[in-house]
C-alpha cells in the first residue's frame, strides 16, 4: 500500500472529512510539495499517497490544516488559535512496508503514530 494517512477529529468523534493536507518530500530544511488534497468522508485520501512502486527511502512531511478544518465546522477558535497547521516529519526506511500516518486531532491537541 505504500504511504497513507487518516485523520480523526477527537472533538466531534469522527473522521476529519474535508480537511486540507499537503504532502512534501524533504531534504534537510528544504521541502518540495508533492501534492495537496482534501480528506474524503472517511477522513482519508482517496487513494494511497504513494504506492509501493513509487515510495522511495527518504524523509517526508505531511501538513494538516487543523485550524481551517475546525473553522469550517463553525468552531470558535481564539486569536491566535492554539493549533494552526500540524506538520509531521517522518522517515521511510523500508519501501516494501506500508507506512500509515494517522492523526488524532482537536483544536487543542494532536497525537500520531505509525499505523498499519
- pLDDT by residue (tens digit) across 47-67? 999 998 999 999 999 999 999
Assess whether pLDDT exceeds 90 at residue 116. Answer: no
- Of the pLDDT bands very low, low, confident and very high (cuts 50, 70, 90), residue 26 is very high
Average pLDDT, the chain: 96
Give the full edge-to-edge strand order of the sheet including 3-9.
Answer: 14-15, 3-9, 99-105, 110-112
Which value, to the nearest 10 degrees, does the dihedral of the CA atoms of residues 79, 82, 86, 90 take?
150
Return the H-helix or E-strand segment holding 6: strand 3-9
| Phi, psi for residue 56 in degrees, rounded to 5 | -115, 150
Answer yes or no: are the C-beta atoms of 100 and 116 closer than 8 Å.
yes
- pLDDT by residue (tens digit) across 62-113? 999 999 999 999 999 999 999 999 999 999 999 999 999 999 999 999 999 9
What the chain holds in terms of domains, given with CATH numbers, is 3-112 (2.60.40.180)
> Can you read off the three cell numbers belonging to residue 27?
531534504
Answer yes or no: are the C-beta atoms of 103 and 10 closer than 8 Å.
no
What is the pLDDT at residue 110? 98
Amino acid at each position: 500500500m505504500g504511504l497513507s494517512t487518516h485523520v480523526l477529529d477527537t472533538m466531534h468523534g469522527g473522521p476529519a472529512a474535508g480537511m486540507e493536507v499537503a504532502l512534501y518530500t524533504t531534504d534537510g530544511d528544504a521541502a518540495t510539495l508533492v501534492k495537496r488534497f482534501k480528506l474524503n468522508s472517511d477522513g482519508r485520501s482517496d487513494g494511497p499517497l504513494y504506492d509501493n512502486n513509487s515510495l522511495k527511502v527518504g524523509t517526508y512531511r505531511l501538513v494538516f490544516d487543523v485550524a481551517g478544518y475546525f473553522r469550517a465546522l463553525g468552531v470558535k477558535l481564539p486569536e491566535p488559535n492554539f493549533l494552526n497547521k500540524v506538520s509531521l516529519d517522518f522517515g521511510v526506511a523500508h519501501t516494501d512496508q506500508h507506512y500509515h500516518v494517522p492523526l488524532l486531532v482537536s483544536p487543542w491537541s494532536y497525537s500520531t503514530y505509525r499505523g498499519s
